[in-house]
Amino acid sequence: MCGIFGLILKPGSKYPEDTIEKVLRKIAVLSESRGKDSSGIAFRNTSEHAIHVIKGDIPIRELLKSSVFEGELNKAIVSYEKGNGFAAFGHARLVTNGSQLQEVNNQPVLKGDMIVIHNGIIVNVDELWENHTSLKREYSIDTEIIPALIRDELNQSSDLVSSLNKAFAKLTGTFSVAMMFRDLNQFVLTTNNGSLYYITDNANFILFASEAYFLEQLKQDKSFKEFNSQIDIHQIKPDTGIVISLKSLQINPFSLNKESIEIPKELCPVSFKLEKHLLDNVKSKNEVVIDPSVYINRGEEGHLFSLLEYNIDAVRNLNRCTKCLLPETFPFIEYDHQGVCNYCNNYKPKNQPKGLNELETLVEPYRRKDDKPDCIVPFSGGRDSTYTLHIVKEELGLNPIAFTYDWGMVTDLARRNIARVCGKLGVENIIVSADIRWKRDNIKKNVSAWLKNPALGMIPLFMAGDKYFFYYCNQVKKQTGIDLNIWGINYLENTEFKTGFARLAPKFDKKRIYSLSLENQLKLFGFVGGNILKSPGYINQSVFDSLGSFAARYIAPKKDYYHLFDYYRWDENEINDLISNKYHWETAIDTKSTWRIGDGTASFYNYIYYTVAGFSENDTFRSNQIREGMLDRETALKLCEEDNMPRYETLRWYLQIIGLDFKDVISIVNKIPKLYIK
């Protein structure tokens, strides 16, 4: 979920001062794509017997510009030039739990005699604190439990690896960890999903990062000329780690959860003292990072909860297709003499897969024999992408990397489920993090413009920022050298009405649900342009972001990719059983459905559609299930009415996180003329 990096130099090695600085800065900046919410870095200064930690709620680029960073870096280099070693490691954070506005939640995390940086999420953190009452919890961040457990084990053993194994065996989720000790001359790198790489000459230096691509880029940079650019990049495989001696730079590998060699603690003659330097960004003080499943209480907020409409009686009076659930308010809908809609009459069954054997044959040329990753699986954390990752790893036997694009609307619940799955499968998760504050500000501006002139056809603009998923997936393919990617797009999720409200007639013969003909692309631009004239607020900083998203989704070519559900039958019960029983998925508190629960924006746009038009994407999804013979109409209608109930907790979180007043927004939505009330 974050970027971690570090540089360790052996005492007595002779690297120029400017080389050390340039390499450290370069690897830090490269790591920023993993997270821009906050950052931190630690220097081990042997001359002073001190570890200096700098951190704050600012991107790593800003931290590198600070005078504090300059000062501590220079002091650490002076110590190195006196014959001491050099050790610096840092973190570019994507906030998951624990607000970045509280410095104790930013990394490196200091706990007792340990300094830790952690990429991933520990999902059983609350349970661990409850079960270990002798340990004192001080922060909100999940990372704190790692040094707490390790130090507790170290106090009872002289074997460092045994202590690490016992502590990490208790964790559920994902972790790639770097740790330094005030009282030990050892440095530890370990991971349970393989999101950790390093390069070394086995004599003078070790450089590590969250992605192999960062190290590859660094090797090609002129700042690396003093190092050996021909050396290989090593992955720390899932459930393994290395212990590095800070005196000799000797590397000792070990395995987690298995019998491993004993590595005794190497005590420092003098324990290092800790010094913190805090850097703050006053612009971020209104940032909201708390997950809706944790902090919203309907009882305490009854005055807001009561604002939500659920006009079920009026909606039930709508004329609907006699075969599916689509109502008379659905764009371009027509009924024949039997009351069956044109969407049913033109529907061609889609859940008729070709067979997994055919997909196995197609992916065989991409399969690697050297144990390196050979497939990218776009992984939103939703149920379909989870199932796809499972099939790719467990059934196809490929070695995938899960790719996630976090544009600011991925909830903590989704992140925790991503951690559960990747940790269980031992799959590396590459996350590209947008400038989340900027993205959320874009959403705020577009929602505000929409509220001045509500048009249902403009609602997709709220989600435009997430379409860069396609663009960054291609970037990750290039960076990793992997051609193949397998998507978990579900054809039953086709939401034709979203462009229908923009006056685009349905195309029943389109190949993919995201396909849009040139004619319809032009019509869409005309519709959007007309609405911009009516509400000029749409002309804001997000325009180019939205245009880029449109191009990434509809125009950019897509190659070397397959859709799992072209070859494997989609079955909701089978998928729900897998995510629940094998991966122990966390579900939302405001809906019984497992669909869209990790998407922070879905609750808002579905509330608008249902309140104004009397249906939402839940109706189209259940209607497609009827057409495929998966559900009878009565069952589908009952499920749909449950699915369409307002999701208060997620709605509240969404509006608060983009900085809009819940009461004001919901009041405006409720006043929009209903399409089902004449």
Q: Distance between CA 222 and CA 224 in Å, rounded? A: 5
Q: Which amino acid is at 632?
A: D
Residues of the chain scoring pLDDT < 70: 1, 95-105, 280-300, 509-517, 550, 552-556
Closest alpha carbon to 447 in 364, 439, 253:
439
Q: Distance between CA 462 and CA 455 in Å, rounded? A: 12
Sign of the dihedral through C-alpha 580, 584, 590, 594 = negative
What is the reported pLDDT for 554? 64
What is the reported pLDDT for 19? 94
Tell me the two tokens of residue 196. Answer: 């950790």
Q: Omega into 108 within 30° of 0, i.e. cis?
A: yes
Q: For 186-208, what is each residue's pLDDT tens digit?
A: 999 999 999 999 999 988 999 99
Q: For 324-377, what is each residue's pLDDT tens digit?
A: 999 999 999 999 999 999 999 999 998 888 999 999 999 999 999 888 999 999
Q: Which residues of 540-563 are buried (b: 16+ CB within 10 A; e: fewer)?
A: bebeebbebbbebbbeeeeeebbb
Q: Distance between CA 638 and CA 643 in Å, rounded? A: 9
Q: Distance between CA 78 and CA 578 in Å, rounded? A: 56
What is the reported pLDDT for 511? 57
What's the DSSP call for residue 425?
A: H
What is the reported pLDDT for 654? 94
Q: For 478-533, what is each residue's pLDDT tens digit?
A: 999 999 999 999 989 988 899 999 999 888 766 554 556 677 777 877 888 888 88
Q: Distance between CA 316 and CA 314 in Å, rounded? A: 5
What is the reported pLDDT for 290? 47
